[in-house]
Amino acid sequence: MKQPKIIETKRLKLVPISIEHRDQLFTVYSDKETTHYVPRETHLTLSETETLINRLLDQMVENKAIVYSIINKDNQYIIGTSGLYILNLEHRRASVGAVIRSNYWSKGYVTEALEKLIDIGFNEFDLIRIEGMCMHTNKASEKVMKKLGMTYEGTLRSDVFVKGNSYDSKVYSILKNEFAKKNV
C-alpha cells in the first residue's frame, strides 16, 4: 500500500494519523456523547488514546488500513478520525469508518471525509467493494452511508459488543461501478 498523502476537501484536511495528534484525539475519544456508538470504551486517559493510535499505526505499517485525523480548516483543530480498512485485498474488499466530535455532527463532515476515502479505495487501490457498518440504532451513520450511495444489505444480529451490551449492526456497501456512476 502507498504511503498516505494529505487530502484536502472544501472544509477539511485529512492528515495521516500520528502520535503527535494524541492530545486532540483524546478530546474526541474521551467524550461520552461522541463515543456513544463507538465499539470501544470511552477513553479516560491519554495512554488509552496513545495505545489506540499505535494500534492504528501498526495496521497502516501492515498495509491493513489508512487512517486519517480529520482537521477542520476553519480552526485547524482535529475533530475526528476516518479510515479505510482492508478486509481482504485478494478479493478487493475494504470498509470505511469515522468518529467525529459530537459538536460537529450533522454538518456533512463525515460524508465529506468518507467520500474521499471511498474514491481512494476504488481509484488508487482498485477495490471492487467498500462497506460500512453501524449499530442498528445509529440513524446518523445510516444517513451518511445512504448519502455516500451505499446500499443496505442486512442486519447482523448481536454483531458488536459495546460498553457491556450486545448490539445488531446494519451493513451497507457500494461497488466500484456504482460509485463511478454516482460521480459522473
Residue written as grid cell 466530535: 101
pLDDT recorded at residue 161: 83
Of 133, 163, 160, the C-alpha closest to 41 is 163
> Residue 9, exposed/middle/buried by CB under 10 A (0-12, 13-18, 19+)?
middle
- What pTM value is reported for the model? 0.92
Cβ neighbours of residue 20 closer than 8 Å, sequence gap 6 or more: none
User: Which mean pLDDT values do the consecutive 10-residue runs of the chain (184 residues) have?
Assistant: 83 97 97 90 95 96 94 97 90 95 96 96 94 94 96 95 88 95 69
User: Across-strand partners of 66?
Assistant: 84
pLDDT recorded at residue 90: 82
pLDDT recorded at residue 184: 55
pLDDT recorded at residue 2: 59
Distance CA 69, CA 78 (A): 6
* Residue 76 exposure: Cα atoms within 13 Å on the Cβ side: 0
pLDDT recorded at residue 89: 77
The region, left, alpha or beta by phi > 0 then psi within -120 to 50, assigned to residue 92 is left
3-state secondary structure 129-152: EEEEEEECCCHHHHHHHHHCCCEE
CA atoms 101, 102, 106, 111: torsion sign = positive
For the chain, the domains span: 7-131
Question: In 3-state terms, what secondary structure has residue 73?
Answer: coil
pLDDT recorded at residue 120: 94
Distance CA 130, CA 32 (A): 28
* Residue 72 exposure: Cα atoms within 13 Å on the Cβ side: 16
Distance CA 139, CA 144 (A): 9
CATH topology for 7-131 is Aminopeptidase (3.40.630)
pLDDT recorded at residue 129: 97
